[in-house]
């Protein structure tokens, strides 16, 4: 079986578990069909960051365009593989563009994949828009959902589960969430904040993310703590991650709460895809 994955790079830990669960030993990272060196360089940099989390065992990792992947699978009669297209962080700042990229990615994957797994929540997109893209796809598409079958809002709900996120917000409405992957990619407090405000401040309102004084005021007036999400004891003890969280908390006067990630939502989505 060939499994297509389109994901934000912030979900590298979840996708690592998905790949391990599939048991495949051939992993393709998608490169864009372009001769533009700047676009290729950016794509390779994102793939490298993402694959560094996956580097273990005997998995063969290759970077190719969809056409090249399709050709190799056909020529070498490869029966099982995972094909991943990793989209850059902060696509949620422009949810209309994100939806287009996801739809285009599914169309390309349809030439190879038996089904496509989306490593996304709504991330600023409308429910109707995302459900339309899933429904109109040429192959089955699965995406993380809650227990009622509704789409999750973002990567935080994928990591912790919607119920736990709601519990933490009821406990303290002024809660900011941080993940190891997000912290490792964007370390500066204001950049981390701007990225998140892109979701909170109004979906298509792109100017919300560049109004720095307003963002800082919003943070200091409404947030009281930052939740440091850890996938393992190793994350909890990671000095670089701890430093990023501590700098962020200090910048905005926040308390720090450690939350161990327990959700298996991406694995549940994979199992649904495998059962199609």
Write out the DSSP string of 237-259: H-HHHHHHHHHHHHHHT-EEEEE
Does 146 lie in the same domain as 22? yes
Q: DSSP readout, 69-89?
A: HHHHHHHTT---EEEEEEEPT
Does 58 lie in the same domain as 46? yes
Confidence check: pLDDT of 201 > 80: no
Output the average pLDDT for the chain.
87
* Number of other CB atoms surrounding residue 93 within 10 Å: 22
Does 166 lie in the same domain as 139? no
Does 126 lie in the same domain as 221? no
pLDDT in the model for residue 222: 80
Rounded to whole angstroms, the Cα distance separating 187 from 247 reads 9
Does 89 lie in the same domain as 55? yes
pLDDT in the model for residue 53: 85
Domain of 243 in residue numbering reads as 159-260
Secondary structure of the chain: what % helix, strand, coil (to 5)? 55, 20, 30
pLDDT in the model for residue 182: 79
Greatest Cα pair distance, the chain, in angstroms, is 60
Q: How many domains does the chain have?
A: 2
Q: Considering the entire predicted model, what is its pTM? A: 0.87
Q: DSSP readout, 90-118?
A: TGGGSHHHHHHHHHHHHHHHTTT-SEEEE
Confidence of residue 199 (pLDDT cuts 50, 70, 90): very low
Does 119 lie in the same domain as 223? no
φ/ψ of 194, rounded to 5, equals -60, -40
The rounded percent of the chain whose pLDDT value lies above 70 is 85
CB 82 within 8 A of CB 19: yes
Confidence check: pLDDT of 245 > 60: yes
List beta partners, residue 62: 28
Does 120 lie in the same domain as 7? yes
Rounded to whole angstroms, the Cα distance separating 172 from 168 reads 6
Does 95 lie in the same domain as 191? no
Q: 91, exposed or middle or buried, with CB in 10 Å at 0-12, 13-18, 19+?
A: buried
Q: Are strands 81-87 and 2-8 parallel, antiparallel or unpaired?
A: parallel
Does 124 lie in the same domain as 204? no
Cα dihedral 215, 221, 223, 224, rounded to 10, equals 150
């Amino acid at each position: 079986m060939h499994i297509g994955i389109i994901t934000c790079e912030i979900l590298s830990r979840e996708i690592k578990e998905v790949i391990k669960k599939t048991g495949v030993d051939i992993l393709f990272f998608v490169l864009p069909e372009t001769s533009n060196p700047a676009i290729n360089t950016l794509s390779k940099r994102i793939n490298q960051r993402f694959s560094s989390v996956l580097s273990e065992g005997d998995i063969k990792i290759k970077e190719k365009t969809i056409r090249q992947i399709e050709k190799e699978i056909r020529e070498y009669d490869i029966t099982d593989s995972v094909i991943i297209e990793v989209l850059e962080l902060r696509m949620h700042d422009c949810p209309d563009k994100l939806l287009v990229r996801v739809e285009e990615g599914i169309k390309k994957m349809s030439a190879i994949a038996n089904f496509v797994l989306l490593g996304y929540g709504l991330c600023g997109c409308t429910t109707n828009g995302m459900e339309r893209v899933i429904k109109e796809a040429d192959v089955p598409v699965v995406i993380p959902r809650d227990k009622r079958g509704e789409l999750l809002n973002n990567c935080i709900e994928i990591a912790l589960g919607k119920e736990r996120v709601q519990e933490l917000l009821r406990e303290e409405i002024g809660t900011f969430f941080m993940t190891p992957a997000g912290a490792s990619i964007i370390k500066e407090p204001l950049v981390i904040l701007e990225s998140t405000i892109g979701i909170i401040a109004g979906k298509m309102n792109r100017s919300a993310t560049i109004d720095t004084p307003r963002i800082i005021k919003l943070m200091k007036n409404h947030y009281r703590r930052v939740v440091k999400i850890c996938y393992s004891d190793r994350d909890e003890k990671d000095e670089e991650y701890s430093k990023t969280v501590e700098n962020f908390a200090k910048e905005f006067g926040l308390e720090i709460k450690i939350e161990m990630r327990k959700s298996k939502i991406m694995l549940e989505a994979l199992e649904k895809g495998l059962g199609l």
